[in-house]
């Protein structure tokens, strides 16, 4: 399973009670709050990688094989825990 940064960000804002609508393309894309129209997300080219790759995907198979690790949270649970931790700190 893969998740884009945009989808991850949308989920995080939803857990914080903010619904985003995405507008524009490329460096002109913004995430705007649906209720107020306020822009919360802007693309900043300074954070682009020097050489972009098409797909980055983690592989937990070695952790499963060597350590016997199994995930206990799905993506939604992980995002919610991260947002809650940020909101309470």
Per-residue confidence (pLDDT) for residue 6, from 0 to 100: 93
Domain of 23, CATH number, reads 3.90.25.10
For range 15-34, the mean pLDDT? 96
Total number of domains constituting the chain? 1
Q: What is the pTM of this model?
A: 0.81
Q: Is the pLDDT score of 32 beyond 90?
A: yes
What is the pLDDT at residue 50? 79
State how far the Cα of 52 lies from the Cα of 16, in Å rounded to an integer. 30
Task: Please check whether residue 9 is in contact with residue 31, taking contact to mean a CB–CB distance below 8 angstroms.
Answer: yes
Q: Which structural domain, as residue segments, surrounds residue 57?
A: 5-88
């Amino acid at each position: 399973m893969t998740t884009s940064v945009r989808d991850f960000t949308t989920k995080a804002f939803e857990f914080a009670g903010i619904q985003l609508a995405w507008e524009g393309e490329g460096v002109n894309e913004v995430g705007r709050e649906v209720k107020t129209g306020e822009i919360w997300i802007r693309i900043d080219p300074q954070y682009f990688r020097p050489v972009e790759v098409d797909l980055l995907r983690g592989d937990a198979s070695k952790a499963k094989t060597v350590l016997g690790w199994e995930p206990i949270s799905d993506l939604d649970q992980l995002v919610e825990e991260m947002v809650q931790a940020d909101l309470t700190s």
